[in-house]
């Protein structure tokens, strides 16, 4: 039986074929559901173009695959190559500001220390504020010689069209929601409670508290893991200014990964509510995206109107948007859960 490749496999193959033909863009926009997967793809491209012993070379000697073993590949994949630069959202507003963009332009204008090509990875291109985006356009229009810009976004619709149009765009989206075990367990608890009865106020607050406790543990785990991987843990004697920058980057990384994990819970709930909506529209319960929850899905769908099922999807989508603002997390989740028709 043949299997269609996932979109991420297709994107990787398209990129490989492009390199084999000697075609290397100066700016790419990688987008998909998982920032970690996008970062892996960006690091692999950075390693490929700077590989010292490429197993496959394309037209004009351009590396088409990385060996993953030479000094350059290892340093890049570990994120510690001197000619690899990261730009991440900083401060409480979770934005990339104009000072960060200007500093990136400055370092890219310098001659590469070791690499064949300097590589800048913008993890969160949708978080450029308007001033930073306008400044970054100048870099896109006149890219520094010997440099590659790789923009990453899990929300590409929020990337300015003027930036979109100047990048080669590759989708690493899977085409479906991937639900982790913890998320599936919480959604399952929610569905089973709703199956037995329409959850009252106490039931909903119990589910909310369980979610908040799970998210708190998740943040602690993320913070511990990223702190151990940060240069702060390896270079305790670094200059104060450098340590302050690393601290800001660590804070930004923890917050970004936590927000993605939090969104996974709402995406899982949205997937279940979408199954309910599909049944109210006359869909087959056997074709539900979450088949394990089919009994609960059918039970809840049986007591909702089409309009109510549709309103539920809107509630989750609005909740996700509000969580991108500075609104208080617990309050946003509370309002969302109380508004659902079950």
For the chain, the farthest-separated pair of C-alpha atoms sits apart, in whole angstroms, at: 67
pTM over 0.85, yes/no = no
In this predicted model, what pLDDT tens digit does every residue of 164-214 receive, in sequence order?
888 888 888 765 444 567 788 888 888 888 887 777 888 888 888 888 888
Looking at per-residue pLDDT, the higher value among 292 and 149 belongs to: 149
Strand partners, 266: none
Spell out the domains of the chain, with CATH numbers in brackets: 7-171 (3.40.50.300), 181-339 (1.20.272)
285 confidence band (pLDDT: 50, 70, 90): low
In this predicted model, what pLDDT tens digit does every residue of 305-319 receive, in sequence order?
989 998 988 888 888
CA atoms within 13 A on the CB side of 37: 18
Percent over 70 (pLDDT), the chain: 92
Q: What is the pLDDT of residue 42?
A: 92
* Among the ranges given (14-28, 39-53, 70-84, 224-238), the one the predictor scored with the smallest mean pLDDT: 224-238
């Amino acid at each position: 039986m043949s299997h269609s490749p996932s979109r991420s496999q297709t994107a990787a193959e398209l990129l490989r074929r492009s390199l084999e033909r000697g075609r290397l863009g100066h700016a790419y926009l990688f987008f998909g559901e998982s920032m970690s997967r996008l970062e892996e793809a960006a690091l692999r491209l950075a390693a490929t173009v700077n590989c010292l012993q490429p197993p496959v070379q394309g037209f004009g000697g351009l590396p088409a695959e990385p060996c993953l073993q030479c000094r350059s590949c290892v340093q890049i994949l570990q994120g510690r190559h001197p000619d690899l630069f990261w730009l991440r959202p900083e401060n409480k507003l979770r934005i990339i500001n104009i000072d960060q963009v200007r500093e990136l332009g400055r370092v890219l204008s310098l001659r590469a220390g070791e690499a064949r090509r300097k590589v800048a990875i913008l993890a969160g291109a949708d978080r450029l504020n308007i001033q930073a985006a306008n400044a970054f356009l100048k870099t896109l229009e006149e890219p520094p010689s010997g440099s590659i810009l790789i923009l990453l976004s899990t929300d590409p619709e929020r990337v300015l069209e003027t930036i979109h149009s100047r990048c080669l765009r590759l989708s690493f989206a899977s085409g479906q929601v991937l639900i982790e075990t913890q998320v599936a367990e919480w959604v399952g608890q929610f569905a089973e409670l709703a199956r037995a009865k329409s959850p009252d106020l106490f039931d909903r607050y119990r589910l909310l508290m369980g979610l908040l406790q799970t998210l708190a543990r998740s943040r602690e785990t993320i913070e511990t893991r990223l702190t151990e991987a940060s240069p702060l843990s390896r270079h305790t004697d670094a200059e104060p200014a450098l340590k302050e920058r690393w601290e800001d980057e660590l804070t930004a990384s923890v917050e970004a990964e936590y927000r993605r994990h939090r969104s996974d819970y709402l995406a899982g709930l949205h997937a279940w509510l979408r199954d309910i909506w599909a049944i109210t529209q006359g869909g087959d319960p056997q074709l539900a995206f979450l088949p394990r929850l089919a009994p609960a899905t059918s039970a809840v769908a049986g007591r909702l109107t089409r309009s109510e099922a549709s309103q539920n999807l809107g509630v989750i989508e609005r909740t996700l948007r509000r969580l991108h603002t500075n609104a208080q997390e617990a309050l946003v989740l509370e309002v969302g859960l109380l508004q659902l028709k079950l």
